A and B are shown apart, each in its own frame.
Chain A
Amino acid sequence: MTATGDTRAGTGMNRARIAGVPGIGGLALGLLSTALILAWVGGDDYRETLVMTTVTYAFVALGIYVPYVMAGSLSMAYAAYAAIGGYAVGLISAKTSLPLWLAWLIGPLVAAVLALLLGLVTRRLSGFFLAAVTLLFGLAFAAFLNDAAGLTGGAVGVGSLRELNLLGWNPSTYQLMVVSSLAVCAFAFLLDRARMSPWGVTVRTMREAPRAVEAAGVRVPTLNLVSLGLGAAIAAVGGAIFTYSVGSVTPDTFKLDLVFLAIFMPLLGGSGTPWGAVLGAVIAVELTLNFSLPGVALSGTLILAVGVLVVLLIAPRGVIGYADRLRKLVQGRWLSRG
């Protein structure tokens, strides 16, 4: 919500100062694409669900972007973090009389604390070991959701959620879609700013040269923990949005496939900027849910998996990286000619 406040304050500034804000170009492009997608949806119910799924994936991808692309530690517990966000909505609705919007605060907080604890236990681990332990944690958490039927409703999950009420305003599904799409843009913009801030530069340096960062007086393990917690919290926001839009949550709502998609989305879109994670989410939803070509028997998920291999092997910049290169190339030609 703070980012919408920022841009609103930004309209008061003069144009030159707005254009000089780092990352504003990405935000403009992101908002434009969002507007186009929302126009494409119109009032179509199915397209609305597609957009809500994209929003969820985008939050999970933005979440994993922080520890994975910026800090270089791959945590595979993201299905669990999204599920925590989802269950926060479900449980607050079913078991308490608290206002439902509190779930968007409590869920991410719980996810962040859990990620911090898991990070503390595994602080000596990196790479393959961290991936394996967090994967196991995800499996154990899914088992827990099934086992603890008294708390989570077991395999049936939690359903029939209350309606969201924000200070007397009951958003319709269309309004909710618009607001959450804008929230994705806000988070991507803020993460882009965070990436370019001194903090972001330190985190990214830590990925390449942890000893240099440690020698400069920054505690690398602490910085790693912060990035893990931040990522988990962002993913939980997405889980909460998805659960509210579907109206129920079960242990199968956030499956292990989501973890793999989360790893692939930032790569597909382009790991140079958080907007790549958002674009990756759009691609992932398009391929896995909305994909059918006449005469092609391949499943979209398979194309996605192969696409990731292609990105890894021959196109490491991802879609946004190459689009940006093309833009610079065209600009260079145009300038030299004119």
Chain B
Amino acid sequence: MPDLQLWISAVQMGCFFGLLALAYYLVLVGAGFFNFAIGPYAMVAGLLTSYLVVEWEYEVWLAAVVGIGTAVLLAIATELAVVRPVQRRSGSGELPALVAVAAVLFAVQQIAGDQLGYLTLPGQNLLPISPITVGETVVQPSTILMVLVTLVAFAAIAAWIRYTRSGRLLRAVGDSTPAATLLGLPVKRIRLVAFILSGVLAGAAGLLFSTKAGVNNLSGLGWAVSGFLALVIGGSGSIVAPLLGGLLLGIVEVFVPYYFGGQSQVYGMLLVALVFFAVKPSGLFVRRVRA
């Protein structure tokens, strides 16, 4: 039953896009812009982990911790050294922030290629169990781990935003940054927390997804676009919206090439993007209209 196998593949991709979209969502709420460098964070986590295991023979879990840690450091550096100064100087215009993020994206790609090589490395499996076979359908351990991590991450972020002080602060900053500043809330610290969490999410997503087709220093750009699209499709109205957007995009990514062949998923994604931007630019779930 090849269809079920495809659905499993779609769920795995959907969870990956959903995690990336959640990382976008946190930075969007906290800092008010789309951090395209999230794709490269994911790439660095995946590539560095594989590199450490293959070249330096690290333990897989240790390598994974180093990989995700590096992604978090990159996220912190992006906020402190690039985005914050650029936004302070340029005020409300979003073009300088966009260019700065593009420069970060390009720089991370180049540094990764320079230091870790330009070859595609195989992803590392974190769950040492054999694939589960049900009938003719095979479920890889990496897929299981991806789904588990996605569910845990969404539940944890939802709980964090709803029940903790810092989570509520993030929402306050997202509702109106000037008002939050006037009230004396720690806006800068909350922004930094949002960046750190997005680094963790992106790093974990990239690490888990690189088992599917390997990872090289240019993977990040495609991932950045996919995660962005997942957030656009889902909308920023609710915490599950990024996951649903991701799953929808995962279905497109898997089934469009299956029925139309070749590289058609790129056309499919462009079509989905154009339809959503033309018809429903705010996504499927909208909480409120921002003034």
Contacts and interface: CB of A to CB of B under 8 A. Distances in A.
A301 B110 contact: yes
B277 A139 contact: no
Interface in A35-61: none
B225 A136 contact: yes
A132 B276 CA distance: 13
A135 B106 CA distance: 14
B263 A136 contact: no
Contact of B229 (A132, A302, A308): A132
B240 interface: no
Contacts of B232: 129, 132
B98 A302 contact: no
A260 B267 CA distance: 22
18 contacts: A72-B93, A72-B95, A74-B99, A128-B98, A131-B36, A132-B225, A132-B229, A140-B266, A140-B269, A140-B270, A143-B262, A256-B221, A260-B105, A264-B103, A308-B107, A309-B107, A313-B85, A313-B86
User: Which has the most chain A C-beta neighbours within 10 Å: B34, B106, B111, B262?
Assistant: B106
Interface of B: 33-34, 36, 81-82, 85-86, 89, 93-96, 98-100, 102-107, 110-111, 113-114, 221-222, 225, 228-229, 232, 262-264, 266-267, 269-270, 273-274, 277-278, 281
A163 interface: no
B273 A133 contact: yes
Interface stretch (A8-16, A118-126, A215-223): A118-126
Per DSSP, are chain A's interface residues mostly helix, strand or loop, or mixed? helix
Interface of A: 72, 74, 121-122, 124-125, 127-129, 131-133, 135-137, 139-140, 143-144, 146-147, 256, 260, 263-264, 267, 298-299, 301-302, 305-306, 308-309, 312-313, 316
Contacts of A306: 107
Nearest to A126: B94
A74 B262 CA distance: 30
A139 B266 contact: yes
A74 B95 contact: yes
Contacts of B225: 132, 135-136, 139
Nearest to B34: A128
Contacts of B264: 143
